[in-house]
Amino acid sequence: MNPPRHQADLPRVREQLLTWIARQATEEAMQWLRTRHAEIAGGAPASKCFLAFSGAPRRIPKETLVLGKADLQEADALRPGWNPSAWSVDEAARALLILSFPAADENAYVGMVEQVFSTADVRESAALYRMLPLYPFSERFRARAAEGIRSNMTSVFQAVAHRNPYPSEYFDEDAWNQMVLKALFTDSVLYKVSGLDARVNAPLARMLVDYAHERWAAGRTVSPELWRPVGPFATEGYLDDLERALTSDKEAEQEAAALALADANAPAAAELLAGFPALKQRIESGALNWESFSRNRIRGSA
């Protein structure tokens, strides 16, 4: 598979980041940031970039970046799929600094970013992974992104897995499937995984159903979101499992199983769903879909 090349419009991304940060940072902090930005862009030694990157939260607030609908549309226009809705202000500043580093020499740029990654603390790591869709030479960071998925630090894992278009664009099937499974394994929600529905695949469905069996055998529960990637592959073999969820005493499980069945192509799936007319009707009327399900049943979880 040849992944699409999604190159961010970097000069405009930098301008946009500065605009957003300025709404929440003091004028003094902005002066500091603009000066560092100019120094780094002007070819200052990498150590300048490292110190500014680490020191950013000493000046720039750590609160969440407040973005309106228009801002998010602008982000998506500058880099398709870029969704900074969960970024903090200092993360935006850190992104600006790293994206200010001259990118004329590909190896020098990638080497600089790798060095920052390899010495990063917890919040720095999260910031660097959230920036994945913005780096120049973004295809060079595939192994690094997969490394983020291996992290045991929840916030670092979620920086790659949530609201980040990079995995769905650049991960091969194995890495992608591992990420989705690990999200469930770490109690991270699936609806925030960018491109989830577009990259469902049969081996993933198999892995998720196996995982459900393993959990059930141990007397544990699974997140109802597990059924979302299973739906399009819900053929005979999975119908017993979906029936089990459909007849659960938890409404969230019933709804998720019904939605999965509605996504399936097999006639047997349609037949099973027909046995639950109330759920079927809500799906057909549009009252129940994955979006409303996420909003009503999952939101509020990490």
Partner 1 sequence: MPTRPSLFIDPHVHMISRTTDDYDAMRAAGVVAVIEPAFWLGQPRTTIGAFKDYFSMIVGWERFRAGQFGVRHYCTIGLNSKEANNEPLAEEVMELLPLYAAKEGVVAIGEIGYDDMTPSEDKYFRLQLELAKELDMLVLIHTPHRNKKEGTSRSMDACDDIGLAPDRVIVDHNNEETVQEVLDRGYWAAFTIYPFTKMGNERMVEIVREYGVERIFIDSAADWGISDPLAVPKTARLMAERGIAEDVIRTVTYDNALKAYGQSGQFSEKDWLEPAPIDQRDLYGGNSVLRGGQTPVVKEKGLIIE
Which residues are near partner 1 by CB under 8 A? 47, 50-51, 54-55, 57-58, 62-64, 88, 118-126, 152-153, 155, 302
Least distance in angstroms from the C-beta of 122 to partner 1: 5
Least distance in angstroms from the C-beta of 54 to partner 1: 4
Q: Between residues 119 and 221, which has the closer beta carbon with respect to partner 1?
A: 119
Least distance in angstroms from the C-beta of 156 to partner 1: 8
Distance CA 13, CA 181 (A): 32
CB contact set of 147 (below 8 Å; sequence gap of 6+): none
Helix (H, G, I), strand (E, B) or coil at 118: helix
Least distance in angstroms from the C-beta of 57 to partner 1: 6
Q: Between residues 116 and 279, which has the closer beta carbon with respect to partner 1?
A: 116
For residues 203 and 177, the answer to whether their CB atoms sit within 8 Å is yes
Q: Between residues 122 and 268, which has the closer beta carbon with respect to partner 1?
A: 122
Least distance in angstroms from the C-beta of 190 to partner 1: 19
Q: Between residues 40 and 258, which has the closer beta carbon with respect to partner 1?
A: 40
Q: Between residues 49 and 259, which has the closer beta carbon with respect to partner 1?
A: 49
How far CA 193 is from CA of 27, 43, 103, 298, in Å, comes to: 36, 36, 29, 13
Q: Between residues 12 and 150, which has the closer beta carbon with respect to partner 1?
A: 150
Which of 20, 11, 18 is CA-nearest to residue 33?
Answer: 18
| Tokens encoding 295 | 């909003």
Residues in the chain: 302
Least distance in angstroms from the C-beta of 153 to partner 1: 5
